[in-house]
């Protein structure tokens, strides 16, 4: 079992979550579409060569984002990362994947 964590602007969270749910992320036993969310503020600055969805190259942007955590089976990792990148509004979404302890 793996845990995927990503950060997404509030207005795009359902789009990204649904893309991940559609490929099987968020399943725990006899439940699906499971996730945990925490709201916060993200910050970034687009450098030369970037094509930012929000803001301008060279400016520091602060935006309301949601940290979303979901679990998934190991075998769908590459499909999940592809779904995340294809549905996320950012050119380079921030995410991490960690191995969960199993009982």
The predicted pLDDT at position 69 comes to 98
User: pLDDT at position 103, please?
Assistant: 61
CATH of domain 2-99: 3.30.70.120
Per-residue pLDDT of the chain (103 residues; tens, 9 = 90+): 999 999 999 999 999 999 999 999 999 999 999 999 999 999 999 999 999 989 999 999 999 999 999 999 999 999 999 999 999 999 999 999 999 887 6
Residue 8: name the closest of 80, 69, 66 by CA.
66
Any idea where the domains of the chain sit in the sequence? Answer: 2-99
Residues 10 and 64: beta-carbon distance below 8 Å? yes
Of 89, 87, 76, give the one whose Cα is nearest residue 4.
76
Distance CA 67, CA 57 (A): 24
In this predicted structure, what is the pLDDT of residue 46?
Answer: 94
């Amino acid at each position: 079992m793996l845990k995927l964590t990503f950060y997404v602007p509030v207005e795009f969270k359902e789009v990204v979550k649904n893309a991940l749910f559609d490929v099987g992320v968020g399943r725990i036993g006899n439940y699906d579409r499971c996730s945990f969310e925490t709201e916060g503020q993200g910050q970034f600055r687009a450098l030369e060569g970037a094509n930012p969805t929000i803001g301008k190259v060279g400016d520091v942007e602060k935006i309301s984002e949601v940290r979303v955590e979901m679990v998934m089976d190991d075998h769908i990792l590459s499909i999940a990362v592809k779904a995340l990148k294809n549905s996320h509004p950012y050119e380079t979404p921030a995410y991490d994947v960690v191995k969960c302890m199993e009982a």
